[in-house]
């Protein structure tokens, strides 16, 4: 066992206790790890968190793991990411070889910020006299159709040729019916799925960025039914309920861990979200799209 000062020992024991002490059950919400769907099933195994398991193992068996980092902020960064679907990238991004076909999903009120994302790639490719790093298959016109079946058909056609659906997330994106349907189509058709927050871009009228909007992937999930099929669920003020715009079974996404029977797995536990302004989206979005498509084998 490594030697620690008294303060270090207390901190070590406190950290170990925090990691191993069971958490009290939380009421159903879009932010819970597993949300109950179908009454009160017997017992469902709680899926372990691999990052948290590794930390516990390192604390209990320090001889078999590297020494604690000298920089205490590194440990804090690891703890902050315990419930994150991904670990922050530490290597320099490499441009993907494949130019992906992407369908951008967004709330029309955010169209100016959305177009900043879309056009930045066009301008960059033109300035450098190189091909664009991805192809845009989005529906950019204001949707004047009012018939839900016509809207669904239009979205199905737009999504059909894409390998990845990218939700550009503003303030109200999470609650928009047709954004949810576009996310659902990514699941139904086995497409890659990724989110990019765009509220960090300056507003064209207010000239300032705005706080992040809610993550739409926290409000949609996949439930395992008693008959062994997977169905899409969505969260609203009444709690989790079956997704009404697609009641049929769906393939289970490769980027999620399977829930127990009678429970759902929120999409946010596997879909990665980035921040366009804070994480150099104009440079990195081709890589984000490529990785999302790759996670689905596309």
Q: Which of 292, 293, 286, 297 is nearest to 96 (CA)?
A: 286
* 294 or 53, greater pLDDT: 294
Predicted confidence (pLDDT) per residue in 124-183, tens digit: 444 444 445 455 656 654 555 567 888 888 888 888 888 999 999 999 999 999 999 999
Angle at 141 between CA 139 and CA 142, to 5 degrees: 115
Angle at 189 between CA 185 and CA 194, to 5 degrees: 65
Report the DSSP beta bridge partners of residue 134: 100
Residue 276 has pLDDT above 60, yes or no: yes
Across 200-209, 219-228, 241-250, least confident range: 200-209
Residue 77 has pLDDT above 50, yes or no: no
The pTM of the full predicted model, rounded to 2 decimals, is: 0.66
- Give the three-state DSSP class for 216: helix
Model pLDDT, residue 150? 83
Residue 291 has pLDDT above 60, yes or no: yes
Model pLDDT, residue 258? 94
Which position has the token pair 């990238």? 89
Using CA of residue 120, residue 126, residue 130, residue 131, what is the dihedral sign?
A: positive
Neighbours of 2 (CB within 10 A): 9
Where do the domains of the chain lie, and which CATH numbers do they carry?
A: 1-38+49-67+78-84 (no CATH), 100-295 (3.40.50)
Burial 124-142 (b: 16+ CB within 10 A, else e): eeeeeeeeebbebbbbeee
Model pLDDT, residue 34? 40
What whole-number percentage of the chain has pLDDT above 90? Answer: 43
Rounded Cα–Cα distance for residues 179 and 158 (Å):
13
Residue 190 has pLDDT above 90, yes or no: yes
Question: pLDDT band at 14, cuts 50/70/90?
Answer: low
Model pLDDT, residue 35? 41
What whole-number percentage of the chain has pLDDT above 70? Answer: 58
DSSP 8-class letter at 261? B
Rounded Cα–Cα distance for residues 177 and 163 (Å):
22
- Give the three-state DSSP class for 118: helix
Model pLDDT, residue 33? 39
Angle at 286 between CA 280 and CA 292, to 5 degrees: 110
Residue 114 has pLDDT above 70, yes or no: yes
């Amino acid at each position: 066992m490594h030697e620690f000062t008294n303060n270090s020992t207390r901190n070590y024991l406190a950290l170990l206790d925090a990691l191993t002490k069971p958490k009290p059950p939380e009421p159903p919400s879009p932010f819970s790890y597993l949300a109950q769907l179908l009454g009160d099933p017997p017992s469902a195994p709680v899926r372990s968190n691999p990052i948290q398991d590794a930390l516990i193992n390192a604390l209990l068996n320090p001889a078999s793991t590297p020494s604690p980092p000298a920089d205490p902020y590194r440990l804090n960064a690891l703890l902050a990411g315990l419930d994150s679907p991904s670990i922050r990238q530490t290597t320099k991004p490499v441009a993907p070889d494949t130019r992906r076909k992407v369908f951008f999903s967004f709330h029309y009120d955010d169209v100016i910020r959305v177009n900043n994302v879309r056009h930045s790639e066009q301008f960059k490719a033109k300035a450098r006299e190189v091909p664009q790093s991805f192809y845009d298959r989005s529906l950019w016109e204001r949707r004047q159709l009012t018939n839900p079946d016509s809207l669904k058909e239009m979205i199905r056609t737009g999504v059909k040729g894409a390998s990845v659906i990218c939700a550009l997330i503003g303030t109200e994106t999470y609650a928009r019916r047709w954004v949810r349907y576009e996310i659902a189509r990514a699941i139904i058709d086995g497409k890659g799925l990724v989110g990019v927050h765009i509220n960090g871009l300056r507003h064209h009228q207010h000239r300032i960025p705005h706080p992040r909007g809610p993550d739409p992937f926290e409000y949609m999930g996949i439930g395992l039914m008693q008959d062994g099929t997977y169905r899409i669920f969505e969260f609203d003020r009444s709690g989790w309920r079956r997704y009404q715009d697609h009641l049929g079974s769906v393939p289970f996404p490769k980027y999620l861990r399977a829930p127990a029977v009678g429970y759902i797995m929120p999409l946010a536990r596997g879909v990665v979200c980035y921040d366009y302004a804070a994480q150099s989206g104009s440079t990195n979005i081709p890589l984000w799209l490529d990785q999302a498509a790759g996670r689905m084998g596309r």
